[in-house]
Amino acid sequence: MAGQTDDQNRLYQRDSKYIPRVAAVHDMCGYGKCSLTAAIPILSAAGCDVCPVPTALFSAHTMFKDYTFHDTTEMLPGYLDAWQKEGVDLDGIYSGFLGSAEQVDIIQRMYREYPKALRLVDPVMGDGGSMYPTYTEEMCRAVTNLVDGADLLMPNLTEVSLLTGIDYEGQDLDDAQVGQRLGRLLDMGAKNVIIKGIDRKDGKLRNFVASADHGGVSQRTELVHDKLPFMIHGTGDAFASSLCGALFAGRGLADAARIAGEFVRSAMQHTRNQPDYQQRGVSFELDLGQMTGLVR
Protein backbone atom coordinates (compact mmCIF):
# COMPACT_ATOMS: atom_id res chain seq x y z
CA MET A 1 0.00 0.00 0.00
CA ALA A 2 1.41 3.38 -0.95
CA GLY A 3 1.54 6.06 1.72
CA GLN A 4 1.36 9.82 1.37
CA THR A 5 4.29 12.12 0.70
CA ASP A 6 3.08 14.71 3.28
CA ASP A 7 3.86 12.33 6.14
CA GLN A 8 4.57 13.48 9.66
CA ASN A 9 7.56 11.18 10.13
CA ARG A 10 10.02 13.96 10.86
CA LEU A 11 13.45 12.85 11.92
CA TYR A 12 14.55 16.39 12.82
CA GLN A 13 12.63 19.38 14.18
CA ARG A 14 14.23 22.50 12.72
CA ASP A 15 14.67 25.63 14.82
CA SER A 16 14.77 28.52 12.35
CA LYS A 17 17.42 30.31 14.42
CA TYR A 18 19.72 27.31 14.78
CA ILE A 19 22.09 25.86 12.17
CA PRO A 20 22.41 22.07 12.63
CA ARG A 21 25.91 20.61 12.53
CA VAL A 22 26.33 17.46 10.43
CA ALA A 23 29.44 15.29 10.10
CA ALA A 24 29.81 14.04 6.52
CA VAL A 25 31.85 10.81 6.65
CA HIS A 26 32.78 10.39 2.99
CA ASP A 27 35.71 10.35 0.61
CA MET A 28 37.07 13.49 -1.08
CA CYS A 29 37.19 13.20 -4.85
CA GLY A 30 39.21 15.77 -6.79
CA TYR A 31 37.35 15.41 -10.09
CA GLY A 32 34.00 13.88 -10.98
CA LYS A 33 31.67 15.40 -8.42
CA CYS A 34 30.51 12.97 -5.73
CA SER A 35 30.85 12.21 -2.01
CA LEU A 36 32.16 15.25 -0.11
CA THR A 37 32.16 17.49 -3.17
CA ALA A 38 28.42 16.85 -3.28
CA ALA A 39 27.66 16.63 0.44
CA ILE A 40 29.38 19.87 1.48
CA PRO A 41 27.65 22.27 -0.96
CA ILE A 42 24.25 20.56 -0.93
CA LEU A 43 23.96 20.32 2.86
CA SER A 44 25.36 23.83 3.23
CA ALA A 45 22.72 25.17 0.85
CA ALA A 46 20.10 23.50 3.06
CA GLY A 47 21.36 25.52 6.02
CA CYS A 48 23.64 22.94 7.64
CA ASP A 49 27.11 23.35 9.12
CA VAL A 50 28.98 20.52 7.39
CA CYS A 51 31.96 18.96 9.17
CA PRO A 52 33.84 16.64 6.78
CA VAL A 53 35.40 13.39 7.97
CA PRO A 54 37.42 12.32 4.89
CA THR A 55 37.55 8.54 4.57
CA ALA A 56 39.74 8.50 1.46
CA LEU A 57 41.31 10.86 -1.08
CA PHE A 58 40.78 10.22 -4.78
CA SER A 59 42.14 12.14 -7.76
CA ALA A 60 38.94 11.19 -9.62
CA HIS A 61 36.05 8.81 -9.06
CA THR A 62 36.37 5.11 -9.77
CA MET A 63 34.58 5.20 -13.12
CA PHE A 64 37.75 6.73 -14.59
CA LYS A 65 40.41 4.37 -15.93
CA ASP A 66 43.18 6.16 -14.03
CA TYR A 67 42.80 7.46 -10.51
CA THR A 68 44.81 7.68 -7.31
CA PHE A 69 43.45 6.40 -3.99
CA HIS A 70 44.65 7.18 -0.47
CA ASP A 71 43.07 5.49 2.56
CA THR A 72 42.85 7.90 5.53
CA THR A 73 42.06 5.32 8.22
CA GLU A 74 45.25 5.91 10.24
CA MET A 75 44.58 9.64 10.69
CA LEU A 76 40.95 9.41 11.77
CA PRO A 77 41.33 8.48 15.48
CA GLY A 78 43.48 11.56 16.10
CA TYR A 79 41.13 13.65 13.96
CA LEU A 80 38.18 12.73 16.20
CA ASP A 81 40.30 13.05 19.36
CA ALA A 82 40.87 16.68 18.42
CA TRP A 83 37.13 17.22 17.99
CA GLN A 84 36.53 15.80 21.46
CA LYS A 85 39.16 18.07 23.00
CA GLU A 86 37.53 21.10 21.40
CA GLY A 87 34.03 20.06 22.45
CA VAL A 88 32.65 19.76 18.92
CA ASP A 89 29.00 18.67 19.01
CA LEU A 90 26.94 17.10 16.23
CA ASP A 91 23.27 16.89 15.27
CA GLY A 92 23.81 14.29 12.57
CA ILE A 93 26.33 11.74 11.29
CA TYR A 94 25.90 11.12 7.56
CA SER A 95 28.15 8.33 6.31
CA GLY A 96 28.85 7.12 2.79
CA PHE A 97 31.90 5.80 0.92
CA LEU A 98 34.53 4.21 3.18
CA GLY A 99 38.23 3.59 2.63
CA SER A 100 38.54 0.45 4.76
CA ALA A 101 36.55 -1.98 6.89
CA GLU A 102 38.12 -0.44 10.00
CA GLN A 103 36.32 2.83 9.29
CA VAL A 104 33.06 1.22 10.38
CA ASP A 105 34.60 1.19 13.88
CA ILE A 106 35.30 4.91 13.47
CA ILE A 107 31.65 5.58 12.67
CA GLN A 108 30.50 3.48 15.60
CA ARG A 109 32.86 5.45 17.84
CA MET A 110 31.11 8.61 16.63
CA TYR A 111 27.75 7.07 17.48
CA ARG A 112 28.98 6.46 21.05
CA GLU A 113 30.43 9.94 21.43
CA TYR A 114 27.42 11.70 19.87
CA PRO A 115 24.47 9.60 21.05
CA LYS A 116 21.88 12.27 20.19
CA ALA A 117 23.05 12.69 16.58
CA LEU A 118 20.91 11.27 13.79
CA ARG A 119 22.50 8.22 12.15
CA LEU A 120 22.10 8.66 8.39
CA VAL A 121 23.67 5.76 6.49
CA ASP A 122 24.22 5.65 2.75
CA PRO A 123 25.92 2.24 2.48
CA VAL A 124 27.97 3.10 -0.60
CA MET A 125 29.37 -0.25 -1.76
CA GLY A 126 28.45 -0.77 -5.40
CA ASP A 127 25.99 -0.40 -8.24
CA GLY A 128 24.69 -2.39 -11.20
CA GLY A 129 25.13 -5.67 -9.34
CA SER A 130 28.87 -5.19 -8.61
CA MET A 131 31.00 -3.84 -5.77
CA TYR A 132 33.08 -0.71 -6.37
CA PRO A 133 36.73 -1.47 -7.24
CA THR A 134 38.16 -0.45 -3.85
CA TYR A 135 35.64 -2.51 -1.87
CA THR A 136 36.04 -6.08 -0.63
CA GLU A 137 33.67 -8.64 0.83
CA GLU A 138 35.20 -7.90 4.25
CA MET A 139 34.31 -4.22 3.88
CA CYS A 140 30.76 -5.04 2.85
CA ARG A 141 30.31 -7.31 5.86
CA ALA A 142 31.59 -4.51 8.10
CA VAL A 143 29.15 -1.98 6.60
CA THR A 144 26.31 -4.35 7.52
CA ASN A 145 27.04 -3.45 11.15
CA LEU A 146 25.75 0.07 10.49
CA VAL A 147 22.23 -1.14 9.67
CA ASP A 148 21.09 -1.86 13.23
CA GLY A 149 20.11 1.45 14.81
CA ALA A 150 20.32 3.53 11.63
CA ASP A 151 17.78 6.34 11.81
CA LEU A 152 17.81 6.25 8.02
CA LEU A 153 19.31 3.69 5.64
CA MET A 154 19.52 4.67 1.94
CA PRO A 155 20.76 1.74 -0.20
CA ASN A 156 20.47 1.14 -3.91
CA LEU A 157 19.47 -2.35 -5.05
CA THR A 158 23.05 -3.62 -5.31
CA GLU A 159 23.70 -2.49 -1.75
CA VAL A 160 20.44 -4.06 -0.59
CA SER A 161 21.73 -7.38 -1.93
CA LEU A 162 25.13 -6.96 -0.25
CA LEU A 163 23.52 -6.05 3.08
CA THR A 164 20.81 -8.72 3.17
CA GLY A 165 22.21 -11.62 1.16
CA ILE A 166 19.13 -11.54 -1.09
CA ASP A 167 20.20 -12.14 -4.69
CA TYR A 168 20.56 -9.11 -6.92
CA GLU A 169 17.83 -9.47 -9.55
CA GLY A 170 18.37 -6.29 -11.53
CA GLN A 171 16.49 -3.03 -11.19
CA ASP A 172 13.03 -4.22 -12.29
CA LEU A 173 11.44 -5.46 -9.07
CA ASP A 174 7.75 -5.91 -8.38
CA ASP A 175 6.01 -4.78 -5.20
CA ALA A 176 6.46 -8.13 -3.47
CA GLN A 177 10.21 -8.14 -4.14
CA VAL A 178 10.54 -4.56 -2.89
CA GLY A 179 8.52 -5.41 0.22
CA GLN A 180 10.74 -8.41 0.95
CA ARG A 181 13.87 -6.24 0.85
CA LEU A 182 12.39 -3.42 2.90
CA GLY A 183 11.19 -5.92 5.48
CA ARG A 184 14.57 -7.59 5.75
CA LEU A 185 16.34 -4.27 6.37
CA LEU A 186 13.79 -3.21 8.98
CA ASP A 187 14.18 -6.61 10.65
CA MET A 188 17.94 -6.00 10.72
CA GLY A 189 17.31 -2.94 12.89
CA ALA A 190 17.07 0.03 10.54
CA LYS A 191 14.43 2.48 11.79
CA ASN A 192 13.68 3.96 8.37
CA VAL A 193 14.67 2.67 4.93
CA ILE A 194 14.65 4.17 1.46
CA ILE A 195 15.41 1.80 -1.42
CA LYS A 196 16.45 3.71 -4.53
CA GLY A 197 16.30 3.13 -8.24
CA ILE A 198 13.59 0.60 -9.10
CA ASP A 199 13.21 0.71 -12.90
CA ARG A 200 10.20 -1.11 -14.39
CA LYS A 201 10.97 -0.05 -17.97
CA ASP A 202 7.94 2.27 -18.10
CA GLY A 203 9.81 5.57 -18.28
CA LYS A 204 9.70 6.03 -14.50
CA LEU A 205 12.09 5.52 -11.60
CA ARG A 206 10.71 4.52 -8.22
CA ASN A 207 11.99 4.93 -4.69
CA PHE A 208 10.29 3.24 -1.75
CA VAL A 209 10.17 4.44 1.86
CA ALA A 210 9.28 2.33 4.89
CA SER A 211 9.45 3.14 8.60
CA ALA A 212 9.45 0.73 11.53
CA ASP A 213 7.36 3.08 13.69
CA HIS A 214 4.96 4.16 10.93
CA GLY A 215 3.37 0.98 9.66
CA GLY A 216 6.44 -0.85 8.39
CA VAL A 217 6.34 -2.46 4.97
CA SER A 218 2.53 -2.46 4.77
CA GLN A 219 2.49 1.34 4.89
CA ARG A 220 5.45 1.96 2.60
CA THR A 221 5.43 5.02 0.37
CA GLU A 222 6.13 4.78 -3.35
CA LEU A 223 7.69 7.86 -4.97
CA VAL A 224 7.66 8.01 -8.77
CA HIS A 225 9.87 10.26 -10.91
CA ASP A 226 10.23 10.57 -14.67
CA LYS A 227 13.31 8.73 -15.89
CA LEU A 228 15.78 10.62 -18.06
CA PRO A 229 17.26 8.76 -21.07
CA PHE A 230 20.87 8.88 -19.81
CA MET A 231 22.90 8.03 -16.71
CA ILE A 232 25.44 10.09 -14.76
CA HIS A 233 27.93 9.02 -12.09
CA GLY A 234 27.32 10.47 -8.62
CA THR A 235 23.53 10.71 -8.63
CA GLY A 236 23.33 8.49 -5.53
CA ASP A 237 25.50 10.89 -3.51
CA ALA A 238 23.52 13.91 -4.74
CA PHE A 239 20.28 12.14 -3.81
CA ALA A 240 21.46 11.16 -0.32
CA SER A 241 22.93 14.60 0.37
CA SER A 242 19.80 16.47 -0.75
CA LEU A 243 17.62 14.02 1.18
CA CYS A 244 19.63 14.68 4.35
CA GLY A 245 19.46 18.41 3.67
CA ALA A 246 15.67 18.27 3.38
CA LEU A 247 15.45 16.25 6.60
CA PHE A 248 17.52 18.83 8.48
CA ALA A 249 15.26 21.51 7.02
CA GLY A 250 12.49 19.83 9.01
CA ARG A 251 10.69 18.00 6.20
CA GLY A 252 8.98 14.66 6.72
CA LEU A 253 10.85 11.61 5.47
CA ALA A 254 8.75 10.82 2.40
CA ASP A 255 8.56 14.49 1.45
CA ALA A 256 12.34 14.78 1.81
CA ALA A 257 12.78 11.77 -0.48
CA ARG A 258 10.46 13.37 -3.05
CA ILE A 259 12.43 16.63 -2.88
CA ALA A 260 15.71 14.74 -3.33
CA GLY A 261 14.42 12.87 -6.36
CA GLU A 262 13.34 16.06 -8.09
CA PHE A 263 16.57 17.84 -7.14
CA VAL A 264 18.64 15.08 -8.78
CA ARG A 265 16.45 14.96 -11.87
CA SER A 266 16.76 18.72 -12.40
CA ALA A 267 20.51 18.62 -11.78
CA MET A 268 20.91 15.81 -14.31
CA GLN A 269 19.18 17.92 -16.94
CA HIS A 270 21.64 20.75 -16.29
CA THR A 271 24.54 18.32 -16.27
CA ARG A 272 23.79 17.11 -19.79
CA ASN A 273 24.44 20.63 -21.11
CA GLN A 274 28.05 20.53 -19.86
CA PRO A 275 31.07 19.24 -21.79
CA ASP A 276 32.15 15.70 -20.85
CA TYR A 277 28.97 15.37 -18.78
CA GLN A 278 29.19 11.57 -18.64
CA GLN A 279 32.30 11.76 -16.46
CA ARG A 280 32.20 15.04 -14.59
CA GLY A 281 29.57 14.04 -12.03
CA VAL A 282 26.29 15.78 -11.25
CA SER A 283 26.35 19.51 -12.04
CA PHE A 284 23.92 20.59 -9.33
CA GLU A 285 25.21 24.17 -8.92
CA LEU A 286 22.23 25.73 -10.68
CA ASP A 287 19.85 23.77 -8.43
CA LEU A 288 21.26 24.67 -5.02
CA GLY A 289 18.60 27.36 -4.69
CA GLN A 290 16.05 24.57 -4.30
CA MET A 291 17.80 23.48 -1.12
CA THR A 292 18.22 27.01 0.20
CA GLY A 293 14.51 27.59 -0.42
CA LEU A 294 13.68 24.90 2.13
CA VAL A 295 15.01 27.04 5.01
CA ARG A 296 14.23 30.57 3.88
Model's pTM, two decimal places?
0.94
Contacts of 130 (CB under 8 A, 6+ apart): 158
pLDDT of residue 9 exceeding 50: yes
Taking residues 178-203, what's their average pLDDT?
97
- Of 187, 209, 190, 189, nearest to 198 (Cα)? 209
Taking residues 48-76, what's their average pLDDT?
92
Taking residues 94-118, what's their average pLDDT?
97
For the segment 234-271, what is each residue's pLDDT rounded down to a tens digit?
899 999 999 999 999 999 999 999 999 999 999 999 99
pLDDT score recorded for residue 62: 78
pLDDT category of residue 7 using cuts at 50, 70 and 90: low
